[in-house]
Amino acid sequence: MQYTQTAKKLTAEEKLRLLVSFGTRISSEIRLDHLLNSIARQIAQILDVGRCIIFLIDPDREELWSKIAQGKGLAYTEIRMPLTTKGIISHVAKTGETINLQNAYEDPRFSMAIDMVTDFRTHSLLAVPLKNNTGKVLGVFQVANKADDLPFDRNDEGILLLLSTLASSSIEIATLYQELYGAQLETLYRLAITAEYRDQQDTRSHLKNISIISFLLAGTLGMPKHEAEIIKNASTLHDIGKVALADNILLKPGKLTPEEFEKMKEHTIYGGKILEGAKSKILQVAYKMSMYHHEKWNGKGYPKGLKGEEIPLEARIVTVADVFDALCQFRVYKDAWKTQDAYEYMLKESGHSFDPRVVAAFKKIYPAIRKLYSHIPVNQMTGPFPGDENIPTENTVIRMTQQD
């Protein structure tokens, strides 16, 4: 995580106060990106430096990585380099030694690549190892350009080493939490594929589209981003009850008989039974979606015939996302609709099948949705959240292969 200092130079007393409160500030944060950003910000303030970058070791890939939070268009950008490179960061990570450079550009081990990406000029540089309580190196803390333009001294080295020691346990905990959370989301996604794979040719596209639309709808409706993220992740399980349906019903290429349709409707009940009583917040939301995503605003849906706001909001959101994408997708029993035709259908059903407020939100995000169905890269769309975090997307990775 990279942070660029813009605040005024601090007094010695202010530095001491920040140093004392450092551990307390970071101990309660378990989201790794937020934690690294907070650590980098505080280190930059305490040492009065122009930039702080935190590199962590990825043992599976044998790489060092850092998220970049500075520079136009660099949201989601990640710097990665092999541990085997001969640069400064790799040397600190491999040896556990501290490196202190008065003029970084004069050292042949220094790479200008990150400066070029972030539009920053490194002068003085200090890099120390991030070690856990057993002495294992987890990564590297790097700071650059003291506010007073003086080189880093022994006192600076000691403070940065102290800060890295204080931060190590919080980083380990946050890393473990991220791994567990990632494993949970992967499990949910694979469960969703199990249900969707049976009646669709492109499950990945369907699940991606529904999750993005649900996320944008939640944000446009005023939900905080963390709640919108839950909506996004839970939405993939809305049809989990399909695993209990027979193939002759689910895959029938023609219109269902009244008896078959009654059987088809039971997938909402099966989904509810699968997810009922879950302790996870994501699964609790998924239960509401799975159970009630075929309820209609006018009370003519199923399985319970709920009406209006009797239907959980989470279900009303995923209903709009699911119906729109279903219309735009090919099925064994129908051709794919044109995006504009599907959009006009959604507007027509406002107040009938769909919550008018959710449809109004859908109208606002439709320019972004149209791009999604035009195969324009997701990270070029606009959405309801400010800045570059509008739409969930994969990281852009800048790989450095010669020097770090």
Domain ranges of the chain: 2-177, 197-373
Nearest to 317 by CA among 389, 218, 243, 195: 218
Q: Angle, to 10 degrees, between the axis of helix 203-220 and the axis of helix 313-328?
A: 140
> Mind listing the pLDDT tens digit for each residue in 294-319?
999 999 999 999 999 999 999 999 99
**What does the pLDDT look like over 76-123, one tens digit per residue?**
578 888 888 888 999 999 999 999 999 999 999 898 888 887 778 999
pTM recorded for the entire structure: 0.64
What superfamily in CATH does domain 2-177 come from? GAF domain (3.30.450.40)
Cβ distance 240 to 274 under 8 Å?
yes
Both tokens of 149, joined, read 């333009």
pLDDT in tens, 146-195: 888 899 999 999 999 989 988 888 898 888 888 877 777 777 777 777 66
* Beta-bridge partner residues of 131: 137
Q: What is the CATH number of domain 197-373?
A: 1.10.3210.10
Residue 343 three-state SS = helix
Percent of the chain with pLDDT over 90: 44
- Report the range of poorest mean pLDDT among 45-54, 195-204, 284-293, 376-385: 376-385
At 284, the pLDDT band (50, 70, 90 cuts) reads very high
Identify the pLDDT of residue 252: 79
Q: What is Dmax (Cα atoms) for the chain?
A: 82
Q: List, for residues 136-147, the tens digit of each pLDDT value.
A: 999 999 999 988
Contact 264, 245 (CB under 8 A): yes
Q: Is the confidence at residue 51, as pLDDT, over 80?
A: yes
pLDDT over 60 at 391, yes or no: no
The encoded tokens of residue 20 equal 């004392």
Structure tokens at 269: 């009940």
Given a cut of 50, whether residue 333 has pLDDT beyond it is yes
Which residue would you say has higher pLDDT here, 373 or 224? 224
Contact call for residues 358 and 315 (beta carbons, < 8 A)? no
